[in-house]
Amino acid sequence: MNVLVRVKVYVKKGVIHVQASFNNTIVTFTDVRGRVVSWASAGTCGFRGIKRGTQFATQTAAENAIRTVVEQGMQRAEVMIKGPGLGRDAALRAIRRSGILLSFVRDVTPMPRT
43 within a domain of the structure (yes/no): yes
71 within a domain of the structure (yes/no): yes
CATH of the domain at 81: 3.30.420.80
Please give the Cα distance from 53 to 107 (Å, whole number): 19
113 within a domain of the structure (yes/no): no
Which residues lie below 8 Å from residue 112, measured CB to CB, with a gap of 6+?
Answer: none
3 within a domain of the structure (yes/no): no
- The bridge status of strand 101-107 relative to strand 13-20 is unpaired
8 within a domain of the structure (yes/no): no
Instruction: Indicate if the pLDDT at residue 3 is higher than 80.
Output: no
Residues 41-59: tens digit of each pLDDT? 988 889 898 888 899 999 9
Q: What's the structural domain count of the chain? A: 1
80 within a domain of the structure (yes/no): yes
| Burial class of residue 54 (count of CB atoms within 10 Å of its CB; 0-12, 13-18, 19+) | middle
Q: What is the mean pLDDT of residues 21-40?
A: 92
Please give the Cα distance from 27 to 90 (Å, whole number): 11
58 within a domain of the structure (yes/no): yes
Confidence tier at 113 by pLDDT (50, 70, 90): confident
17 within a domain of the structure (yes/no): yes
This model's pTM is above 0.75: yes
The domain in which residue 78 lies consists of 13-107
What is the reported pLDDT for 43? 87
